[in-house]
Amino acid sequence: MRFLLPGALALFIFISFSAQAQDIKYCGQTEETEKIFQRFPHLRADAERANRQLEEEGAVYRSSGGDDQLLIIPVVFHIIHDNGPENISDEQVYSAMEVLNRDFRLLNEDVADVVDAFEDLPSDIHIEFRLAKRDPQGNCTKGINRIESSLTYQGDDQMKSLIFWPREMYMNVWVCADAGGAAGYTFLPGSVDNPWMEDEDGIVLLHDYTGDMGTSNVFRSRTLTHEVGHWLNLMHPWGPTNNPGLASNCDTDDGVADTPLTVGWTSCILDGESCGSLDNVQNYMDYSYCSRMFTPGQRSRMRTAAFSNVADRNDLWSEQNLEATGVFEESVLCAAEFDADRVVICAGDSVQMNDYSYHNISEWSWNFGTFTIEGSNEEEHRNPMVTFDEPGIYSVTLTVSDGFESVSATRNDYIRVLPSDALEDPFTDSFEDGLDENEWFIFNEHDNVTWEETSVTAYTGNSCIRIRNRNNNVEMSNDELTSSTMDLTDALYATVSYRWSYCNLPDETDDRIKVSVSKDCGETWALRKVHRGFTDLPTAEPQNSPFVPSGLNEWAENTIVVDNPDFLVDGFRVKFDFEGRGGNHVYMDDINIDVVYETDLSVNDIASNFRYSIAPNPAEQNALLRYYLSAAAEVNFTLLDMTGRQVLQLFEGRSSTGENNIQINRNGLASGVYLLRMQIGDHAVTERFVLR
């Protein structure tokens, strides 16, 4: 008999779910599955067929009485990171594997806390998981890969496409910075039993829900246990949804006879009876975050999936595959690997080196060309913080030893150390000589399509730079163009101007150019401007064919003013970040950085009393008039059209000694050429001012 959820309890669960949802994350399995079916509707029928097969195989397995064969499944972790905390340590991965095996083999000490009503049900699944020691090509591996990519913040199929090992050989686990708002997600085997879905098959984990140390903790450590349950065909105890706490969940089931009907819990209420009987709140597949157990019925369902050819699960633990993936091999020294948290820095900055060599390393020797760091103290020598005092390009060699053998790895021209003033003042670049590698640095995740010099069009001269965005075959790309350094010490302000040309496809697309500046040589960035495909990025009418601007009228210009004293330092840098989201080609030209010092303000000198500057000029919207008076004076600033008619009164009155600022607001003025008339006492000067 099924019972409706009592009103008071329903309210309690709703409040509990709402409160905890602010602090902890849950599983995204059902949402991600539905996204796939919406994108590829024909896969739903394939999934239904595969699920029927699993149910039929499960009935046969249960009637046979099951088995106790120990199944071993090779695992590979792919750490997708942007040099942030999501780049978790090897030790944190090892802790995740330890927790997973402990839970699946019923070696968790807290099983003693299971409530009396279920104390006879906790089950040893007789499945173990081991990090692979051979990659798909048979090379030595430690079962942990690291890929640097901003796709870590997406945690979706595009991120998975960065690296995937064959699912018939490995259980793939991707660790990332964001998993679509979930703690993790995967797919039931029936949902991916299709060649289209092979490279989607695996588990995505948020880095701070991985293992019980590092960025994670004990409270969040069983997320992988939960997701592997899904990967082996377990549903949530309330059925095939992600909506715990609903009274209607009492009318659905998870296909497991010994897990009681439940609405699902997001808090640890051990005596909860949501559907007329005591709930198994401590089940790994619930959301209570006090899980302790799988039931015999869940054991049977998972082992059925492991023995099935649905989604190739039965290939994983075969003797042939265990040999190919090397899970039984002795861990011996076989590879030196390393990276750095930053590879473009300024002189005097430090870099965190990270050693990922394997196995059993006891000695380290780092060679940076002009100096070395070596020793056997793991805390001091494994991951040293290295300061580079002199500009230059540094190759890095790491040699590691286990006390008997040694191996080395070299990254040539790996770390570039910039002077604080690499760019001349003023800096102008119309790319007539291409992209100078000493002035610009490119980062992109898709090597075939990124910033490049082209002569098919230009605003100034014969060349500009472009991204053939129309050729991108990914849903979203990211291409960064970052300048070298400029010294803005003692500057009053600087202006960064640039031109671009772009058009949408016939269906409007939200491609973006983001402009950021850095005050610390690129360690951190401040976003200053975003041009979006939905608003001001397009400069021409949409077209489906690859876009080339037809004339200067299909270009736009913008200028940003950098006047925050925090950014008027040496090591100043600029970054143009293009996010491609399915639109057409984009072009840039005439990237200029102009620096204004107090001594530069003497554009015109009236009785040695007045100096001024206007920026930007030309202007898209507003501009800033800065002027300096050595003595207080009566002033009158007006904006005139080319006939001499006054169109805007900017300021009239007595102006104080020192520096003064006046904002010139467009206020609906038409594009064109104006005259800015500035009268100081009996003297006057007129400056040409352009609104685009």
Residue 257 within any structural domain of the chain: no
SS3 call for 509: coil
Supply the range of the domain harboring residue 583. Answer: 427-596
Q: Is residue 543 located within the same domain as residue 560?
A: yes
Q: Which segments within 459-555 are labelled E, that is strand?
A: 464-467, 477-483, 493-502, 512-518, 526-532
Q: Is residue 159 located within the same domain as residue 169?
A: yes
pLDDT tens-place string over residues 563-606: 889 999 999 999 999 998 888 999 999 999 988 776 654 444 44
Q: Is residue 52 located within the same domain as residue 101?
A: yes
| Range of lowest pLDDT (86-100, 201-215, 276-290, 625-639) | 625-639
Q: Is residue 643 located within the same domain as residue 664?
A: yes
Contact between 599 and 618 (Cβ < 8 Å): no
- Length of the chain (residues): 692
b/e sequence 268-304, b meaning 16+ C-beta within 10 Å:
ebbebebbeebbbbbbbbbbbbbbbbbbbbbbbbbbb
Report which of residues 130 and 653 the model is more confident about: 130
From CA 222, how far away is CA 218, in angstroms rounded? 8
Residue 211 within any structural domain of the chain: yes
Q: Is residue 86 located within the same domain as residue 193?
A: yes
Of 366, 397, 418, which residue is a domain's last? 418
Q: Is residue 382 located within the same domain as residue 508?
A: no
pLDDT category of residue 16 using cuts at 50, 70 and 90: very low
Q: Is residue 166 located within the same domain as residue 178?
A: yes
Residue 225 within any structural domain of the chain: yes
Instruction: Please determine, for residue 369, whether its predicted confidence score (pLDDT) is greater than 50.
Output: yes
Q: Is residue 62 located within the same domain as residue 208?
A: yes
pLDDT of residue 17: 36
Find where tokens 């023995």 sit. 307
Q: Is residue 407 located within the same domain as residue 476?
A: no
Q: Is residue 454 located within the same domain as residue 407?
A: no
Residue 244 within any structural domain of the chain: no
Of 570, 596, 622, which residue is a domain's last? 596
From CA 261, how far away is CA 253, in angstroms rounded? 6
For the chain, how many structural domains are there in total?
A: 4
Instruction: Please determine, for residue 4, whether its predicted confidence score (pLDDT) is greater than 50.
Output: no
pLDDT tens-place string over residues 31-72: 888 888 888 888 899 999 999 999 999 999 999 998 999 999
Q: Is residue 489 located within the same domain as residue 529?
A: yes
pTM of the full predicted structure?
0.75
Q: Is residue 587 located within the same domain as residue 523?
A: yes
Residue 3 within any structural domain of the chain: no
What six digits make up the tokens of 655? 């102006």
